[in-house]
Structure 1
Amino acid sequence: MEIDSSFGNFAGNAQGGSSPGQSDFVTFLQMLTTQMQNQDPLNPMEASDFAVQLATFAGVEQQTYTNQLLATMIGQTGLSDLGGWVGMEARIYGGAHFSGTPIELTPDPALGADEVLLIVRNDNDEIVDSRSIGPETQSYLWDGQDAQGNTLPDGTYRFEIESRLDGEELDTQPVAAYIPILEARYQDGVTMLVLPGGLFVESAMVTGLRRPADPSEAEMP
């Protein structure tokens, strides 16, 4: 049985192309060719049957490609919107990178506390600074120094506050910091924000967004 040369051309085009699902399409053509070569010569399949198989696969392939294209467009739209975040400051829990520049924190002491302690931990979860702040403090500029007034080395630090009343601990909560956004990336279906110090965080983790603040407006120790 003679095979139409257009099948070979079609397979060659599929192998040379770069559209999604091309490897599946080449596999389908190979299976179709094998099916044609091994069919019963006394009862061959009708050409229309092959055409139906080809049309069915092409329809599924096109739908898959359309879905992938739509997903890509949605992701690019979200990334375009986040492009406006670059240069802004994001309020994020989980720590911040210190490199000599004070970091603005947003503590939220427990209601009724008469004493609040700011605790700073390094990458090894060691306490490197502990200081008292006002019970009503909502914005605090951490200067990067330890209890002895020595500037701490560059690195990532985490912050928490311990609220007390009459010497008794009420609770301990993490503290968010305002961190500059250097870049926004769409990666593995998730929009990631690039922060100073090579830190990455998902955009969904941002709890606030603002233009760079004037450091003089925050409380210094």
Structure 2
Amino acid sequence: MSQVNNDNTTNSILSNLNIANKNKDDKNSNELGQSAFLELMITQMNNQDPLSPQDNGDFIAQLAQFSSVEGLERLNNRFEEFSGSFMSNQALQASSLVGRQVTVPTEKTLLFDGGIVSGSVRLEESTNDMRINVYDEAGEQVSAIPLGSRPAGDLSFRWDGQNVEVNGELLDWIGGEEPLPGGEYRFEVLVTQDGKTEQLETALSANVNSVSMGDDGRLTLNLAGLGAVNIGDVKQFN
């Protein structure tokens, strides 16, 4: 498995994957090439029993079979070249993710000093009471953010440890006198519908520390505070 980090990411992953300068394996010396096959067939014709010669159809069948095998071999070679090119492009894309933020399904993430945590939830139905509770690493509630009535649909929010912006609008609600310090925080988004309170699934932002690429070309993001996350689980590239 290859890993991409901040140190010369592009050259590192290409070197580790050995894509850019990949050497082709030497052909097996026992492999039957086209010229060898034709020479063998001519020798077979010269040495066949004149009283019982091989039917022409048999020779044609041999040629057709060899042509099919040769065509499949060329197709496999082309596919390997295409696969190598695809993995090379994946490697270049992976290197650009390091240092950026992505949004993934999770309840907790890291807030860096002076940074912002962005998140999103989806309301299947409208609600007359929505709120976000924030807990620190010790499990103590450090913030309670009332959002009031909200229509059905996607809702995004940004939190800097003090103030909250919802769907691009800064709330009048003000947090503490000072922003909360950086650290790990857990977010609980609650809605009340028909007298019942339900917790919604949240997606939060996290920093990409490094990217790992498996031999099969699959990318795994190593996120700050969260660990390894499959790139297919990413909801948004920030």
Sort the Cα spacing of 1:61 and 1:129 in 2 relative to 1 into closer, same or farther, 3 A: farther
Aligned equivalents of 2:193, 2:226: Cα separation in 1: 39
Give the partner amino acid of 1:106: G
Higher share in helix: 1
User: Are residues 1:138 and 2:157 paired?
Assistant: yes
Show structure 2 runs of 5+ residues with no match. Answer: 1-23, 42-47, 149-155, 163-182
Aligned equivalents of 2:236, 2:100: Cα separation in 1: 10
Sort the Cα spacing of 1:100 and 1:179 in 2 relative to 1 into closer, same or farther, 3 A: closer
Aligned to 1:181, what secondary structure does the other structure show? Answer: strand
Aligned equivalents of 2:84, 2:223: Cα separation in 1: 24
Query: What residue in structure 1 maps to residue 177 of structure 2?
Result: none
Q: Deviations over 1:104-138 (max 9, x none)?
A: 2525485544352537699xxxx935552221682
List aligned pairs for 1:1-221, cutoff 5 A. Answer: 18=25, 53-96=65-108, 104-106=117-119, 108=121, 111-118=126-133, 128-130=139-141, 132-135=144-147, 138-141=157-160, 159-164=187-192, 168-187=195-214, 188-197=216-225, 199-210=227-238
Give the structure-1-normalised TM-score: 0.52
Aligned equivalents of 1:97, 1:108: Cα separation in 2: 15
Structure showing greater relative contact order (alpha-carbon pairs closer than 8 Å, 6 or more residues apart)? 2
Shift of 1:180: 0.8
Aligned equivalents of 1:205, 1:129: Cα separation in 2: 29
Q: Is the Cα contact below 8 Å between 2:209 and 2:222 reproduced in 1? A: yes
Identical positions, percent? 14
- Paired residue total: 167
Higher share in strand: 2
Show structure 1 runs of 5+ residues with no match. Answer: 1-16, 144-153, 211-221
Q: Is the Cα contact below 8 Å between 1:159 and 1:176 reproduced in 2? A: no
Give the partner amino acid of 1:133: I
